[in-house]
């Protein structure tokens, strides 16, 4: 699954023009300092690359040593599996469970006839998955364990097992099909029990005593002699509230009242689900006009009606009513987890206040963004660069913050870095090339103390060497920085471009 997702992403990226799309893909995980293959795509398997090999071994086996190697991320796999389970839940079956690491269990009792039979359902599902670039094997049986086994291992009876044929279908399969833990599997393999038929042939009392009740339970579940239970993904629908008006609505007050009322209902619904609003959409159906849509995001999940209303109200007053509004539909199109307030009383006090702070922070951000737009409410994003002007960038504040930040520089840096460095006319330099007197914007400065130079050079891999950049706007040349104090005690950060010796003012301490 994950493989498929990655391959799709590779196919989309323009950097390799799809040239390397046919390369095998492997996922590696570092175990005790060794990079081991955890998953290999069918192409890789065809080359003989199997999970458990080292990365270098896999490279040696691949044709022309060309492989896509990626890190194995089990949590993302699981998340993707859950999303797929939700989708299957909407499309195919009311009961879907996740079977980590790569399985899904569907209870299709009574669902087959909607697709024209179980066989058609299976075909339909396979096609749908294939369109999403997901390779899947589907087994159908009267018990989950049996279906699981026949989907993963080749069964002489095919992938669809009729009720009553479980024993016959399972008999030739290896005992791996029973989802036993590794220790039990090894113990059974040690005494030569490889197939389920061997297991069935053993006396049940012996089996339970030697290998634990788990083996028998799994066996019974597979053959339908014991009850199975699965942990189905919960049913979750979008929180939506609708209001229909008798005739077109024309008064602003009436609309505000109706929206407020709908919002209360929506938030009550979210409260029952322990969700907080992240994105709200309001759709207004108008007479003789296309529907008007109002949508906005909030930065932290919230159920605070006052806050949401304060964001919604100014937008509502801009709506053109046309010949009247017939219907309004309020949807929480994105939500986030927001535990009930009561839960917090049992936690430590600090986390409660912490959450209150986050909530207040979110409200502050939303209110600012609503008035100033997100392009003017910014956060820092640091790059690991040597250029003073390139190491910090501003990004909209509602984008996620990075977890780690580059280490601070230890040398002195100015407190203000102008957006554009100013050209400086150097009147006088001393014998060592230190600035003595300079002129900037019509004023003349005299150096009383100078510290430097600090040389900041471009990274060699960025510099093509063809065209020496002549000013700041065009790339980055080698520069010598000086901290200079003028006669009034102000400190300036002057720099000289190495290529042509011109001077720039690139910051000061104020």
Where on the chain is the footprint of another protein (CB under 8 A)? 350, 353-354, 356-358, 360-361, 363-365, 367-368, 371-372, 376-380, 382, 388, 391-392, 394, 397, 401-402, 405, 407-417, 419, 441-445, 448-449, 451, 483, 485, 487-491, 507, 509-510
User: Rounded to whole angstroms, how far apart are CA atoms 158 and 230?
Assistant: 24
Q: C-beta of 352: minimal distance to another protein in Å?
A: 11
Q: Shortest CA distance to 124 belongs to which of 104, 138, 109? A: 138
User: Whose Cβ is closer to another protein: residue 24's or residue 507's?
Assistant: 507
Angle between helix axes 213-223 and 144-152 (nearest 10 degrees) is 90
Output the smallest distance, CB 387 to another protein, in A.
Answer: 12
To another protein, the closest distance from the beta carbon of 384 in angstroms equals 12
For tokens 């937008």, name the residue: 315
∠ CA(383), CA(387), CA(391), 5° rounding?
Answer: 20
Question: Closer CB to another protein, residue 111 or residue 382?
Answer: 382
How many CA atoms lie within 13 Å of 221's alpha carbon, on the beta-carbon side?
19
Cα distance between residue 507 and residue 335, in whole Å: 44
CB nearer to another protein: give 211 or 503. Answer: 503
Nearer of residues 85 and 365 to another protein, judged by Cβ: 365
* DSSP string covering 404-450: --PPPPSS---SB--SSPEEEEEEEE-TTS-EEEEEETTEEEEEEEE
Question: Which residue is listed with tokens 């399972």?
Answer: 170
Q: By C-beta, is 56 or 448 nearer to another protein?
A: 448
CB of 380 to another protein, least distance (A): 5
In the complex, the smallest distance separating the C-beta of residue 408 from another protein, rounded to whole angstroms, is 3
* Least distance to another protein, CB of residue 437, Å: 12
Nearer to another protein, 201 or 360 (CB): 360
Shortest distance, position 457 Cβ to another protein, whole Å: 18
Backbone conformation region of residue 176, classed left if phi is above 0, alpha if psi is from -120 to 50, else beta:
alpha
Of 295 and 360, which CB lies nearer to another protein in the complex structure? 360
- Return the number of the residue (23 or 482) whose C-beta is nearest another protein: 482
- The least CB distance from residue 275 to another protein, in Å, is 22
Q: What is the DSSP letter of 341?
A: G
Letter string b/e over residues 218-227, b meaning 16 or more CB atoms within 10 A of that residue's CB: bbbbbbbeee
Question: Is residue 298 within 8 Å of residue 267, measured between CB atoms?
Answer: no
Nearer to another protein, 225 or 430 (CB): 430
Name the minimum Å distance from CB 388 to another protein.
8
Q: Rounded to the nearest whole angstrom, what is the least distance from the CB of residue 417 to another protein in the complex?
A: 4
For the bound state, the minimum distance from the C-beta of residue 445 to another protein, rounded and expressed in Å, comes to 7
Element (H, E) at 204: helix 204-211
* Nearer to another protein (CB atom), residue 340 or residue 449: 449
3's CB contacts (< 8 A; 6+ apart) are 25, 27, 39, 41
Task: Select 93 or 299, whichever has its Cβ closest to another protein.
Answer: 299
- Rg, the chain, Cα only: 33
List the strands of the sheet with 239-249, edge to edge. Answer: 239-249, 325-337, 275-286, 289-302
Q: For residue 206, give the 3-state DSSP assignment.
A: helix
How far lies 27's CA from each of 75, 369, 381, in Å? 14, 41, 30
């Amino acid at each position: 699954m994950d493989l498929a997702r990655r391959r799709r992403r590779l196919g989309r990226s323009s950097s390799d023009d799809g040239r390397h799309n046919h390369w095998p893909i492997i996922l590696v995980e570092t175990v005790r300092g060794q990079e081991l293959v955890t998953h290999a795509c069918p192409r890789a398997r065809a080359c003989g690359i199997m999970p458990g090999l080292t990365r270098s071994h896999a490279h040696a086996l691949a044709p022309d040593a060309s492989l896509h190697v990626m890190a194995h991320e089990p949590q993302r796999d699981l998340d993707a599996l859950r999303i797929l389970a939700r989708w299957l839940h909407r499309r195919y079956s009311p009961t879907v469970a996740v079977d980590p690491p790569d399985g899904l269990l569907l209870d299709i009792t009574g669902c087959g006839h909607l697709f024209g039979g179980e066989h058609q359902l299976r075909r339909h599902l396979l096609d749908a998955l294939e369109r999403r670039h997901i390779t899947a094997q589907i087994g159908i049986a009267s018990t989950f364990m049996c279906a699981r086994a026949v989907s993963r291992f080749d069964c002489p009876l095919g992938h669809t097992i009729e009720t009553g044929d479980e024993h016959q279908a399972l008999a030739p399969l290896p005992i791996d099909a029973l989802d036993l833990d590794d220790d039990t599997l090894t113990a059974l393999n040690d005494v030569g029990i490889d197939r389920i038929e061997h297991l069935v042939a053993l006396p049940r009392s012996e089996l339970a005593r030697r290998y634990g009740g788990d083996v028998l339970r799994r066996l019974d579940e597979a053959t339908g002699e014991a009850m199975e239970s699965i942990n189905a993904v919960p049913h979750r629908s979008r929180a939506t509230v609708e209001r229909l008006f008798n005739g077109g609505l024309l008064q602003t007050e009436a609309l505000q009242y109706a929206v407020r009322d709908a919002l209360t209902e929506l938030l009550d619904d979210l409260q029952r689900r322990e969700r907080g609003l992240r994105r709200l959409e309001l759709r207004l159906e108008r007479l003789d006009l296309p529907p008007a849509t109002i949508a906005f995001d909030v930065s932290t999940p919230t159920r605070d009606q006052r806050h949401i209303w304060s964001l919604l109200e100014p937008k509502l007053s801009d709506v053109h009513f046309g010949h009247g509004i017939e219907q309004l539909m309020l949807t929480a199109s994105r939500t986030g987890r927001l535990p009930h307030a009561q839960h917090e009383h049992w936690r430590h006090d600090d986390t409660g206040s912490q959450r209150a702070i986050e909530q207040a922070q979110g409200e502050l951000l939303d209110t600012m963004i609503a008035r100033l737009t997100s392009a003017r409410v910014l956060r820092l994003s640091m790059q690991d660069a040597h250029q003073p002007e390139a190491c910090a960038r501003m990004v909209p504040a509602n984008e996620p913050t990075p977890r780690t930040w580059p280490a601070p520089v230890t040398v002195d840096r100015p407190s203000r870095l102008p957006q554009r460095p100013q050209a400086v006319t150097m009147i006088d330099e001393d014998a060592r090339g230190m600035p003595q007197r300079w002129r900037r914007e019509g004023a003349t400065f005299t150096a009383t103390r100078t510290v430097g130079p600090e040389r900041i050079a471009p990274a060699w891999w960025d510099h093509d060497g063809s065209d020496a950049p002549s000013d700041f706007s065009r790339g980055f040349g080698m520069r010598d920085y000086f901290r200079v104090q003028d006669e009034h005690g102000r400190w300036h950060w002057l720099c000289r471009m190495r290529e042509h010796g011109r001077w720039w003012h690139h910051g000061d301490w104020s």
